[in-house]
Every structure is written in structure tokens, then in C-alpha cells.
């Protein structure tokens, strides 16, 4: 089985976010980037298929040279090869076109992507990749088993879970549950050294137009000051909750 894991290069959740050019561009200065958490769950599951079933695992990212440390981390975790599509990821459709091209060129059986990235939260790329390639698709996937050309996947739905039977080629939008946080892997020194020798292939983007464009960004309103209430003054607390916070 040949697996392609899609890796988004996203800001660490502890990073301080700012914008430039009249709030139309994200300011990357001082921001630490990491593997998108939903993608990391998928990569860990792919490593399980590699170790238990002998699968080949490649990782792919659409981005500039600045994303290569993130791809190298994926190689250090255990992926066999990395592919960087040399293009700025302008929107979800553009990214999906690039990933679909890589999937078809590499004849992959299984594509594992996160259900969404934590930067733009579009949640559209895995579904579009499946549509562009004619592959089967399961979103919000929390469990995946593959036996030959057949797969069984469980996904979250409103109020419960749904288990599906499908076949390869398959694209999934994974999330926590595909593996647990305790299963995530930290690269060790041996893995880091081996990652330096593993291939990281750079390919040029295929022609694709962006379907959407960013008009502007806006930060959430700052939190108001905290009001302290004497623990003995229950009437004041009730008054504030009722008339100011309006929660009761």
C-alpha cells in the first residue's frame, strides 16, 4: 500500500498573531511553525500501516522553502520520502489541485489529510482532492483499517459515530481519534539523522486558479477587565450575571 500524507505548515497555537498591509496579510515574523495537529494524527496512523502492513509513506506540502523543516520533521518521525510543491498556497482549491496532481502522478492508494488546518480552518481540501481524483472520501475520520483493497472507516457525525465500508483509492479527512495524543511521536536523534538522508523532492505547481481571495483579517475583540466580587456578596454576583453578563 502506498500512502500520501498531506502536511500543512501552520503557526504554533501559542504564537502571537499579527497582520500587515492593512490587515490583508499574515505576519510571519517571530512565529514558530509546526505540523498541523490533524495532519500529525494522520501521519502517526500512516506510520502504524508502515510498521504493521509494510506500507510506503510519503508526505507532501504545498509551500515555499520555509516549509521544509516541517517536512523534515515528518521524515524524522518515519516517513520515507517528502514532496514539496513549490508554490504559495493561495486558497483551498489551488492546494487541492496540487495535491490531486501529486496523488495521480504517484498512483497512491490512500491519501490521509487533516479534516482542516488550524490556520485557515477551511475544511475543504480533502473533499476536493477526492472529487478531483475520483477517489472515495471519508471526512472527520476517527478510525481506519485497511485490508487489501478494502477499508473500514469510522467518522464522527452529529450525536454519534458512523462506520463505513469502502475501497481504495481513498482520501480521508482525519482528526483526533484516528490516533490518540498519547500515540503521537517525537523524533529521536536516530530519526533526525536518517531524515537528512531521505529524499525531499521539489516539484513545480500545475496550472490552477484560486477560487477565493482574502479581503482582510480581523482579530477578536480584546477581553474585558475582570470584575472581582466579594464571596459574601451573593446578591451583587447574581445582579452582574443577570444584568451585565446576561447568562441567567
Residue 226 lies in a domain: no
User: Are 153 and 163 within 8 A, CB to CB?
Assistant: yes
Does residue 223 surpass a pLDDT of 90?
no
Residue 228 lies in a domain: no
Residue 187 lies in a domain: yes
3-state secondary structure of 67: helix
Confidence of residue 110 (pLDDT cuts 50, 70, 90): very high
Taking only the tens place, the pLDDT of each residue in 147-202 is 999 999 999 999 999 999 999 999 999 999 999 999 999 999 999 999 999 999 99
For residue 7, give the CATH number of its domain: 3.40.50.620
Beta strand residue intervals within the chain, DSSP E: 2-6, 9-11, 19-20, 25-26, 33-35, 56-63, 81-86, 110-114, 136-147, 150-157, 160-167, 170-174, 200-204
Residue 229 lies in a domain: no
**Amino acid 221: pLDDT:** 85
**Amino acid 247: pLDDT:** 86
How many domains in the chain? Answer: 1
Residue 103 lies in a domain: yes
Which range marks the domain in which residue 162 is found?
A: 2-220
Residue 231 lies in a domain: no
**Amino acid 225: pLDDT:** 82
Separation CA 151–CA 105 (nearest Å): 22
User: Are 8 and 39 within 8 A, CB to CB?
Assistant: yes
This model's pTM is above 0.85: yes
Residue 162, preceding bond cis, omega within 30 degrees?
Answer: no
Region 107-122 average pLDDT: 94
Confidence of residue 227 (pLDDT cuts 50, 70, 90): confident
CB atoms within 10 A of CB 167: 13
Residue 214 lies in a domain: yes
Length of the chain as a residue count: 248
Quote the cell numbers at residue 92: 483551498
Region 78-85 average pLDDT: 97
Separation CA 73–CA 247 (nearest Å): 45
Amino acid at each position: 500500500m502506498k500512502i500520501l500524507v498531506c502536511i500543512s505548515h501552520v503557526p504554533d497555537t501559542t504564537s502571537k498573531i499579527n497582520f500587515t498591509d492593512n490587515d490583508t496579510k499574515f505576519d510571519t515574523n517571530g512565529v514558530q511553525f509546526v505540523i498541523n495537529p490533524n495532519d500529525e494524527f494522520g501521519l502517526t496512523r500512516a506510520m502504524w500501516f508502515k510498521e504493521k502492513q509494510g506500507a510506503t509513506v510519503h508526505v507532501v506540502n504545498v509551500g515555499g522553502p520555509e516549509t521544509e523543516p516541517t517536512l523534515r520533521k515528518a521524515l524524522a518521525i518515519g516517513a520515507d520520502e517528502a514532496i514539496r510543491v513549490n508554490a504559495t498556497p493561495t486558497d483551498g482549491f489551488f492546494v487541492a489541485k496540487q495535491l490531486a496532481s501529486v496523488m495521480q502522478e504517484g498512483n497512491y492508494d490512500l491519501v490521509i489529510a487533516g479534516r482542516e488546518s488550524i490556520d485557515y480552518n477551511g475544511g475543504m481540501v480533502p473533499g476536493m482532492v477526492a472529487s478531483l481524483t475520483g477517489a472515495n472520501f471519508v471526512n472527520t475520520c476517527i478510525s481506519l483499517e485497511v485490508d487489501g483493497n478494502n477499508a473500514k472507516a469510522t467518522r464522527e457525525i452529529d450525536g454519534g459515530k458512523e462506520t463505513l465500508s469502502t475501497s481504495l483509492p481513498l482520501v480521508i479527512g482525519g482528526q483526533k481519534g484516528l490516533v490518540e495524543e498519547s500515540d503521537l511521536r517525537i523524533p529521536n536523534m536516530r530519526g533526525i539523522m536518517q531524515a537528512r538522508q531521505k529524499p525531499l523532492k521539489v516539484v513545480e505547481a500545475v496550472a490552477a486558479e484560486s477560487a477565493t481571495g482574502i479581503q482582510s483579517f480581523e482579530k477578536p475583540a480584546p477581553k474585558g477587565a475582570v470584575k472581582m466580587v466579594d464571596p459574601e456578596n451573593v446578591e451583587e454576583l447574581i445582579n452582574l450575571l443577570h444584568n451585565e453578563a446576561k447568562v441567567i
